[in-house]
């Protein structure tokens, strides 16, 4: 399978039809997904109908955008009218979305073909896609390993070359960490650049919808299609967004910060990231050793803020309206307690309980309020750092993909795997993960670039520059 950009050019040239492309993706899904389990559902008839509509537009000379006719897989927490919206949870097992998320409406305006619902950790709570209520996704590089999470299905679908591009969501690294584990590119935009309307809320002040693909160009093209203001989302920034794809070739030598707090994990990953830094230096960039001392507090602050917001957001799933309802419930209290007890998984329950605790009287100041102060401190440290440097370079993760079951019984150990990705969410900054080689076991490693708020195009251009000199092949299984 080729890149989305290559397919876009073939569609424009008339050497390929969208129906042919979508049918090829469907064939790949049928051939491979029995082992990978990247998808929870897909509607082949609907996808082909979308492809036929795209082909008709092109025949009439009315293609909507470069993405017209290109298939995009969708994480199963993003609403698509008439399609399942389960969040990989039994709570929403039979729910069908009655409307489109804004990012989906934007993709429809661009003519993209919406192809399939990707597996994820339940309600986006997890780092391995093992918390899905329905199936565990495998890493295409080694099917005994996890693909990362929570957007593990989206990353695996792209890495296995079942689709060229996909949408995920990133609350604490849920796009970038699986991108690193699966050897693909994943981008978390600046908070507010992409509407969250229609993305089922987990932690509203942290999460952003974003793209995954095999190349930075594909990711930039998809980002440009979904980024927009939105009257339905008060956190979506007003005004036009800076287009990233036309600026991919505009990378210029700059000052790149290497924060010491992000290194010291896997020695092989650290060495690979340092080698990436040296490549930028060879292209005229200045490397600056910097310090972000408060990021050591990022994990505890994040897991207080995120769980508090989860406790509030998930209160709407009450067993009364559109969710699972316990057959054993006898009154209103029973409906609420039994339905939630039956339908939520262990990790979701754990985070709701923790979030409720830190918001409760007597603990609010000690935990939630203090975590918000730490968040402000981290944001201020990033602002100070970006007065000295233009970009910040770090490992994406402190390790490569781990074996299935390796951490599922130890939540704290799982949470610590987010140490490199969580700070960008707390500060609302754009961040990208892209491959920087494989380790001795042949598993991919990821490098992360963070940029100033609203400088998404600069982050994508920097990653693109490296990628052009270091092409990386995904396995396709």
- What positions carry a catalytic annotation? 75, 150, 174
Distance of alpha carbon 194 from its chain centroid, rounded? 12
- Do residues 393 and 258 touch, judged by C-beta distance below 8 A? yes
- Which alpha helices (DSSP H) does 111-199 contain, by range? 152-159, 176-182
How many helices (DSSP H) and strands (DSSP E) are in the chain? Answer: 15, 11
- Do residues 300 and 426 touch, judged by C-beta distance below 8 A? no
The residue behind tokens 């069908």 is: 96
- Do residues 193 and 454 touch, judged by C-beta distance below 8 A? yes
Pair type for strands 391-395 and 255-259: parallel
How many angstroms separate the Cα of 466 from the Cα of each of 10, 11, 362?
25, 27, 50
Residues 6+ positions from 321 with CB-CB distance below 8 Å:
none
Task: Determine how many CB atoms are found less than 10 A away from the CB of residue 275.
Answer: 13
Of 214, 224, 215, the closest CA to residue 246 belongs to 224
- Do residues 296 and 302 touch, judged by C-beta distance below 8 A? no
Structure-block tokens of residue 408:
């599922």
How many angstroms separate the Cα of 149 from the Cα of each of 177, 195, 350, 425?
7, 21, 17, 15
Buried-state track 310-333, b at ≥16 Cβ within 10 A, e below 16: bbbbbeebbbeebbbbbeebeeee
The CA-to-CA distance between both ends of the chain, in Å, stands at 11
- Do residues 135 and 38 touch, judged by C-beta distance below 8 A? no
8-state DSSP, 403: B
């Amino acid at each position: 399978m080729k890149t989305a950009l290559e397919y876009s050019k073939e569609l424009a040239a008339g050497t390929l039809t969208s129906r042919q492309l979508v049918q090829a993706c469907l064939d790949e899904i049928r051939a491979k997904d029995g082992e990978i389990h990247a998808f929870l559902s897909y509607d082949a008839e609907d996808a082909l109908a979308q492809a036929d509509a795209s082909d008709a537009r092109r025949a009439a000379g009315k293609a909507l955008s470069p993405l017209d006719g290109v298939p995009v897989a969708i994480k199963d927490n993003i609403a698509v009218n008439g399609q399942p919206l389960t969040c990989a949870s039994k709570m929403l097992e039979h729910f069908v979305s009655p409307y489109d998320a804004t990012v989906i409406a934007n993709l429809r305006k661009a003519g993209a073909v919406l192809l399939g619902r990707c597996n994820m950790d339940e309600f986006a709570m997890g780092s391995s896609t093992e918390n899905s209520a329905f199936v565990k996704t495998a890493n295409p590089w080694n099917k005994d390993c996890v693909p990362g999470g929570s957007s593990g299905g989206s990353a695996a679908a792209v890495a296995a070359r079942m689709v060229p591009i996909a949408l995920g969501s990133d609350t604490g690294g849920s796009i970038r960490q699986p991108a690193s584990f699966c050897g693909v590119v994943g981008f978390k935009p600046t908070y507010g650049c992409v509407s969250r309307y229609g993305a089922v809320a987990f932690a509203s002040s942290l999460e952003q919808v974003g793209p995954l693909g095999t190349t930075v160009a594909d990711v930039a093209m998809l980002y440009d299609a979904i980024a927009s203001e939105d009257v339905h989302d008060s956190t979506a920034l007003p005004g036009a967004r800076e287009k990233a794809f036309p600026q991919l070739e505009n990378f210029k030598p700059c000052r790149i910060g290497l924060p010491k707090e992000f290194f010291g994990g896997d020695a092989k990953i650290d060495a690979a990231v340092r080698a990436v830094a040296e490549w930028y230096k060879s292209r005229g960039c200045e490397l600056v050793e910097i310090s972000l001392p408060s990021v050591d507090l990022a994990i505890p602050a994040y897991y207080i803020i995120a769980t508090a917001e989860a406790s509030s957001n998930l209160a709407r799933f009450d067993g009364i309206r559109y969710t699972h309802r316990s057959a054993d419930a006898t009154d209103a209290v029973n409906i609420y307690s039994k339905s939630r007890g039956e339908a939520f998984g262990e990790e979701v329950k754990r985070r709701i309980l923790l979030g409720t605790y830190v918001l409760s009287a007597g603990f609010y100041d000690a935990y939630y309020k203090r975590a918000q102060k730490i968040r402000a401190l981290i944001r201020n440290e990033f602002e100070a750092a970006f007065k000295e440097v233009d970009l910040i370079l770090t490992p994406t993760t402190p390790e490569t993909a781990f074996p299935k079951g390796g951490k599922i019984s130890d939540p704290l150990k799982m949470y610590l795997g987010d140490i490199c990705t969580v700070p960008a969410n707390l500060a609302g900054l754009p961040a990208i993960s892209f491959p920087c080689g494989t380790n001795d076991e042949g598993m991919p490693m990821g490098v992360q670039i963070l940029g100033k708020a609203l400088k998404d195009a600069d982050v994508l251009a920097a990653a693109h520059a490296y990628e052009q000199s270091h092409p990386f092949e995904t396995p396709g299984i």
